[in-house]
Amino acid sequence: MDFLLYNNNYLFLIAAVVSGILLVIGSRKSGQSTLSAQEAVRFSNTDHAQFIDIREPEAYQAGHIAQSKNFPKSNLEAKASSLPKKPLILVCDTGRTALEAAAILKKLNIENVYTLKDGLTGWKNEGLPIKSKKKSKE
């Protein structure tokens, strides 16, 4: 009886792992996926993905991910053709606006678009660095 119980648990574990792998692959192929801060760093380093900060310039200058480019959501559709031709990781404050922007880009047939889970807030909570452009006082 223990033999059957052990094998059933083992089969259940295999089925769960395979289902998880298929779920991840399916979400990545859809062209729109959410990445944790650590996954985004790894993806940027291995696949040369570009961070795209979709916040307004004032918020971007107050603090952003190093080497990210600023393409505000307010004119993202108009500037979509000038986006880098590589995987994109969209960044906003909380992750919600980035999901909306990803949907816009998907409608424009721009593929390999990802969003940063919990946005810049999640990035900061992971203890990852933020760069700011401080205006000099004269």
pLDDT values of the chain reduced to their tens digit, one per residue, 138 residues: 555 455 666 767 677 777 666 655 554 544 459 999 999 999 999 999 999 999 999 999 999 999 999 999 999 999 999 999 999 999 999 999 999 999 999 999 999 999 999 999 999 999 999 998 765 444
What's the confidence (pLDDT) of residue 30? Answer: 46
Query: What b/e string do you get for 23-46 counting C-beta neighbours within 10 Å, with b at 16 or more?
Result: eeeeeeeebbbbbebeebbebbee
What are the chain's domains?
A: 34-131 (3.40.250.10)
Which amino acid type is present at position 43? Answer: F
Q: What is the pLDDT of residue 20?
A: 63
Q: List the one residue out of 55, 47, 56, 35 whose CA is nearest residue 128.
A: 35
pLDDT at position 97 is 97
Residue 15: per-residue pLDDT: 72
pTM of the model: 0.74
What phi and psi, each to the nearest 5 degrees, are found at residue 99?
A: -65, -40
Among candidate residues 45, 32, 49, 35, the one with its CA nearest the CA of residue 119: 35
Q: What is the pLDDT of residue 138?
A: 42
pLDDT score of 14: 79
Which residues share a beta bridge with 8?
Answer: none
